[in-house]
Amino acid sequence: MHGLTPGNVHDCKVAQLCIGAMPPSAELVADKGYDSRALREWLIGRGTEAVIPPRKNRKIQYDYDRAIYKQHNVVERMFCRFKDWRRIATRFDRNLKNFMGAISLAAAVIWWL
């Protein structure tokens, strides 16, 4: 990925690209916005269990580990802490290296405090 997606592009469109940059994990926890058959099949191919609640309008209601899903709030709170940083919340940096640098700096300060 050479740059960031515009703010009006859904993250699910680039999910495989972003997840593929990381080594496979046992589980992947995501919210209902990531409930797609294509993503689930791709995760199975990686040996990763999708811990994603199904959307209510889905004909096939997939089962997921509710105990693991309850822990997703830790990640959600981390993203909320990042949004305290205006530069990150508004995607001020369009260059990926600069944006990731800002994320790294914010993470270090958040961890320090």
pLDDT tens for residues 3-35?
A: 556 666 667 778 888 888 889 999 999 988 889
**In angstroms, rounded to a whole number, what is the distance separating the alpha carbons of residues 8 and 102?**
21
- The residues facing 28 across adjacent strands are 50
Q: How many helices (H) and strands (E) does the chain have?
A: 6, 2
Helix (H) or strand (E) holding 98: helix 96-112
- Write down the pTM of the prediction: 0.69
pLDDT tens for residues 24-67?
A: 999 999 988 889 899 999 999 999 999 999 999 988 899 999 99
